[in-house]
């Protein structure tokens, strides 16, 4: 079915007299792109103007900066909550270093924090296979347990804020896992649009997207097992967005250890790109749709985050995201794809 996914870009130019060039007339290009599924727009401008800032992560271990951490040492045993026995009979879930506990500040009825490591500061290169596998496994198991306990909450989500530029309140590595009927505007818009796409074209958008992106070969990074990695046509992050689609997985119950391993393998490649490019912080999420549908497969997204500078720690989000609900990116997805592909 050729052409059912449309990649629409508007290229525009702003002209002004440039003080950097003796007030000669100059033209700056920018783009507005339309998400091929939802139609939501994203701006691409200010190309190359935002550079990831190097963070000295070990400083977060200094006592005056570290302050109090409830996830360190034996404090996590004493200070983190336990689940009621109807949900998790043993109170908490653990595997290797990973310890999953209820979120003291829950996002939904079943809301967990997964303390990933014993170490307070974990640079990207120290997330080895075992640490990542134990963390994801314990979280996925929690979501499966919750789904069995209360099937009325249809959506299952993992989120991960890594390091302070991401908005993460604690440096100590942790992920959030929750089941919900209200998964947020982005998820809801994509879910509704994917359902409509399915009924209109009798195929699911994401499988079609993989086929098309593979053929175009501008944003398709590569395949690991049954997972497919690509850069998004419209980036949610200022420094771009990388996505992984699991086209055969439609609900949390379908996600097996082999899928976790594929996710980790791809993530290592992404981390290698981050390390090479001084990226020390990110937001990530893994989404699962409800059981019984076959138009919204599981997908993972990761966006780099940075302070604009480390003089006054300006965040990389501004009025665009906060008030216009419009993503802005300074990185062209096709260039990001090329750079990551070398490391895959």
Q: Are 328 and 45 in contact (CB under 8 A)?
A: yes
Is residue 79 within the footprint of Zn ion (CB under 5 A)?
Answer: no
State in angstroms the smallest separation of the CB of 177 from Zn ion: 19
153-172 binders of Zn ion (CB under 5 A): 172
- Is 137 in a helix, a strand, or coil? helix
CA distance 177 to 155: 11
Indicate which single residue of 32, 50, 57, 69 sits in contact with Zn ion (rule: CB under 5 A). 69
Number of residues that bind Zn ion (CB under 5 A): 5
* Token code pair at residue 235: 């980036």
A 10 A CB-CB count for 92 gives: 19
* Among 261, 271, 272, 287, CA closest to 136: 261
| Min dist. Cβ of residue 107 to Zn ion (A) | 21
Q: Does residue 120 bind Zn ion (CB under 5 A)?
A: yes
Stretch that binds Zn ion, among 118-126, 206-214, 228-236, 287-295 (CB under 5 A): 118-126
Least distance (Å) between residue 143 CB and Zn ion:
24
CA 335, 336, 337, 339 torsion-angle sign: positive
In whole angstroms, the minimum distance from the beta carbon of 63 to Zn ion comes to 12
Minimum distance from CB of 174 to Zn ion (Å)? 9
Between residues 72 and 210, which has the closer beta carbon with respect to Zn ion?
72
Instruction: Kindly tell me which of 74 and 312 has the beta carbon lying closer to Zn ion.
Output: 74
CA-wise closest residue to 100 among 156, 155, 173: 173
Count of CB atoms within 10 A of residue 320's CB? 15
d(CA 244, CA 286): 9
Q: Which CB atom, from 79 or from 275, has the smaller least distance to Zn ion? A: 79
If one asks whether residue 72 binds Zn ion (CB under 5 A), the answer comes out as: yes
Binding site for Zn ion (CB under 5 A): 69, 71-72, 120, 172
């Amino acid at each position: 079915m050729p052409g059912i996914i449309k990649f629409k870009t508007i290229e525009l130019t702003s002209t002004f007299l440039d003080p950097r060039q003796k007030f000669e007339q100059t033209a700056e290009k920018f783009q507005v792109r339309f998400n091929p599924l939802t139609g939501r727009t994203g701006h691409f401008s200010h190309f190359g103007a935002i550079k990831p800032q190097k963070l000295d992560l070990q400083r977060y271990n200094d006592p005056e900066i570290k302050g109090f951490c409830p996830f360190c040492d034996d404090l996590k045993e004493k200070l983190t909550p336990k689940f009621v026995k109807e949900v998790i009979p043993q109170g908490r879930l653990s595997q290797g270093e990973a310890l999953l506990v209820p979120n003291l500040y829950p996002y939904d009825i079943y809301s967990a924090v997964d303390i990933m490591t014993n170490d307070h500061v974990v640079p990207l290169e120290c997330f080895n296979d075992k640490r990542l596998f134990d963390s994801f496994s314990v979280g996925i198991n929690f979501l499966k347990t919750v789904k069995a306990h209360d099937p009325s909450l249809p959506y299952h989500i993992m989120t991960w804020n890594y390091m302070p530029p991401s908005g993460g309140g604690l440096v100590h590595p942790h992920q959030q896992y929750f089941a919900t009927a209200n998964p947020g505007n982005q998820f809801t818009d994509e879910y509704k649009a994917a359902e409509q796409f399915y009924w209109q074209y009798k195929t699911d958008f994401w499988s079609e997207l993989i086929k098309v992106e593979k053929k175009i070969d501008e944003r398709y990074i590569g395949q690991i097992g049954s997972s497919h990695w690509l850069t998004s046509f419209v980036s949610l992050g200022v420094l771009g967005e990388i996505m992984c689609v699991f086209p055969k997985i439609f609900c949390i119950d379908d996600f097996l250890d082999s899928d976790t391993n594929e996710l980790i393998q791809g993530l290592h490649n992404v981390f290698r790109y981050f390390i090479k490019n001084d990226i020390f912080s990110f937001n990530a999420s893994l989404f699962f749709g409800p059981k019984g549908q076959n138009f919204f497969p599981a997908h993972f997204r990761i966006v780099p985050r940075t302070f604009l500078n480390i003089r006054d720690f300006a965040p990389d989000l501004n009025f665009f995201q906060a008030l216009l609900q419009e993503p802005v990116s300074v990185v062209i997805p096709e260039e990001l794809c090329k750079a990551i592909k070398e490391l895959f």
